[in-house]
Amino acid sequence: MIDIVILGAGNVASHFIHAFSQSQDINISQIYNHRPESLRDFSDFETTKEIDKIKTAEVYLVCIKDDKVQKIVQSINQPQAIIAHTSGSLPLLKTSNRDAVFYPLQTFSKDKTISFKDLPICLETEYESDFKVLKKLVHALGAKPYAVSTIQRQELHLAAVFVCNFVNHLYHIGHEICAQKNLPFDILKPLIKETADKINFKTPNQAQTGPAIRHDQTTINRHIQQLDNPNYQEIYRYLTNSIQKSNE
Amino acid sequence: MIDIVILGAGNVASHFIHAFSQSQDINISQIYNHRPESLRDFSDFETTKEIDKIKTAEVYLVCIKDDKVQKIVQSINQPQAIIAHTSGSLPLLKTSNRDAVFYPLQTFSKDKTISFKDLPICLETEYESDFKVLKKLVHALGAKPYAVSTIQRQELHLAAVFVCNFVNHLYHIGHEICAQKNLPFDILKPLIKETADKINFKTPNQAQTGPAIRHDQTTINRHIQQLDNPNYQEIYRYLTNSIQKSNE
């Protein structure tokens, strides 16, 4: 049984709390947040709003905003414990604690449960023995551990922006086009599903279809004319150009 | 039992031939292609390479390149039959035939079977009675018919470029980043799946996450620095800007 303390009560923290509380190998001994109103949802757990009342644990999981992480980690004085942040961007910290990283490569939304089954969790530790402890945490979630360096993790975080945040914005553009023409967004969903599924069978490069890769200039020109949002026109031009450049 | 003739033997035609041949309500009476070598894969069917040897049927399904459709349709002289093209871009033709449109909103790749179950097929017909016939074809496939005008279909085709072709290119960028940093592309797959799945529970606008929507300028700047491909930098800038504009 591993004792852990969760720092933070936001989106990522909530998903971890939910997932860890379902594992018999993990004991969430405390949840910390400086805003007591954020702790209301966690009345089943011991909570604190004061960092100096934090309990002793084997692992501290820091699920708070990037710009507050360093300060919070430094105010925990538990040199025997592992203190892991969950950020995709921050380096492995070098404080007086046993610093580590526990970065789940996933998009978390409020009100939507995430399956941790096979979810990649990127681990980095100051000490090799700590890596084994974090691996146990990952396995307790049913997730998949990856040893990922700071540089690799920062690249993954960038890749995630492309394949998740930017992809979702393209869905938004499709949604907007449908709404403007009185078409249900549902009509696009099988296409969205198949596009995401196809990369399990082909590389994205092999899976590429559409007017850009066919150099179908008539369709490309008409599409740009159809768009009345200049931002979307530019996105159309740059992505078309980039698809063509990738295949030269 | 509806008799149909398929014109074309490429990617889209192959998927339709496969799907229709599994329905007991449809008889594929002939497959036409001007290049006899393209007909080799369809030895179980009657085939022809000469347009004037085309058989009489109730429906002709034209699955060929946009710029050849008009000519082929005009050379079929079957005024009692429905001649439907499968293009997302072309208008409803006005030939001496009973013109129609049968546009499947999906991305077809060679060597990857598509489920037609619930797949949206956009229908448009010159005559209302023909609409019912095409609807039977759609039901024979287990697909979902939608009455879609030419203008709506052209907008859907544009939306499809965003949510499929452009999305796939963003997957390609993620793939490239992983390859450069010796990370397996598999690590991004649960994120890709969850992003595509999320729009079944939230609108894409509600589902948006990431540094752009958070206006996290430190991360945005570092990400642009990390990219060495100027095309990708521009795509990053335009998509970030567009996400922020969409939420003003």
CA distance B219 to A90: 10
Report the pLDDT value the prediction gives residue A96, as an integer from 0 to 100: 83
> Using an 8 Å Cβ cutoff, are B124 and B89 in contact?
no
Please, where are the H alpha helices in chain A?
11-20, 66-75, 128-141, 150-160, 167-180, 189-198, 204-207, 217-226, 230-246
> Does the pLDDT value for residue B133 go beyond 90?
yes
> Using an 8 Å Cβ cutoff, are B92 and B99 in contact?
yes
| Sequence-ordered list of residues with C-beta below 8 angstroms from that of A229, at least 6 positions apart, any chain | none
Model confidence band, residue B77 (pLDDT cutoffs 50, 70, 90): confident
B81-116 pLDDT, tens digit each: 999 999 999 999 988 889 999 999 999 888 888 889
B48-74 pLDDT, tens digit each: 999 999 999 999 999 999 989 999 999
Please state, for a pLDDT cut of 70, what percent of chain B lies above it: 100
Chain A residues touching residue B182 (CB < 8 angstroms): 152
State the Cα angle at A37 between A35 and A41, rounded to 5°: 120
Boundaries of every domain in chain B:
2-148, 153-246
* Record: contact B165-A114, CB cut-off 8 A: no
How many other CB atoms are found less than 10 A from the CB of residue B78?
A: 18
- Residue among A107, A172, A176, A182 at smallest CA distance from B167: A172
Report the pLDDT value the prediction gives residue A95, as an integer from 0 to 100: 87
- Residue among B217, B105, B207 at smallest CA distance from B164: B105
Mean pLDDT in chain A? 95
**Secondary structure element (H or E) that encloses residue A59, with its range:** strand A59-62
- Residue among A75, A103, A76, A99 at smallest CA distance from A89: A103
State the Cα angle at A233 between A229 and A238, rounded to 5°: 150
CA A3 to chain centroid, in Å, comes to: 24
How many other CB atoms are found less than 10 A from the CB of residue B56?
A: 12
> Does the pLDDT value for residue B5 go beyond 90?
yes
CA distance A36 to A9: 10
Could you tell me the two tokens for A113?
A: 């449960």
Report the pLDDT value the prediction gives residue B45, as an integer from 0 to 100: 96
Mean pLDDT in chain B? 95
Strand order in the sheet with B82-85: B47-48, B26-32, B2-7, B59-62, B82-85, B98-104, B120-125, B144-147
Report the pLDDT value the prediction gives residue A5, as an integer from 0 to 100: 97
* Record: contact B160-A191, CB cut-off 8 A: yes
- Nearest CA-CA distance, residue B19 and chain A, Å: 17
- Asked if the B2-148 domain carries CATH number 3.40.50.720, the reply is yes
Of B201, B204, B210, the CB nearest to A171: B204
- CA dist list (Å): A103 to A120, A199, A244, B91, B242: 8, 24, 34, 50, 27
- Nearest CA-CA distance, residue B37 and chain A, Å: 22
CATH architecture of residue range(s) A153-246: Orthogonal Bundle (1.10)
B215-247 pLDDT, tens digit each: 999 999 999 999 999 999 999 999 999 999 998
Of A159, A180, A223, the CB nearest to B178: A159
Question: Which of A118, A141, A152, A158 to probe by mutation at the B interface, max B CB count within 10 Å?
Answer: A158
* Record: contact B165-A210, CB cut-off 8 A: yes
Report the pLDDT value the prediction gives residue B111, as an integer from 0 to 100: 81
Angle at which helices A167-180 and B167-180 pack, to 10 degrees?
180
- Residue among A66, A111, A108 at smallest CA distance from A90: A66
Chain B residues touching residue A181 (CB < 8 angstroms): 151-152, 155-156
Could you tell me the two tokens for A88?
A: 């995709």
CA distance B214 to B130: 51
Task: With a cut of 50, list the residues of chain A below it in pLDDT.
Answer: none
How many other CB atoms are found less than 10 A from the CB of residue A231?
A: 17
* Record: contact B191-A163, CB cut-off 8 A: yes
* Record: contact B219-A243, CB cut-off 8 A: no
ipTM > 0.90? yes
Please, where are the H alpha helices in B65-127?
66-75
Chain A residues touching residue B111 (CB < 8 angstroms): 201
Of A114, A207, A236, the CB nearest to B194: A114
B7-45 pLDDT, tens digit each: 999 999 999 999 999 999 999 999 999 999 999 999 999
> Using an 8 Å Cβ cutoff, are A54 and A32 in contact?
yes
- Pairing status of strand B98-104 against strand B120-125: antiparallel
CA distance B126 to B84: 10
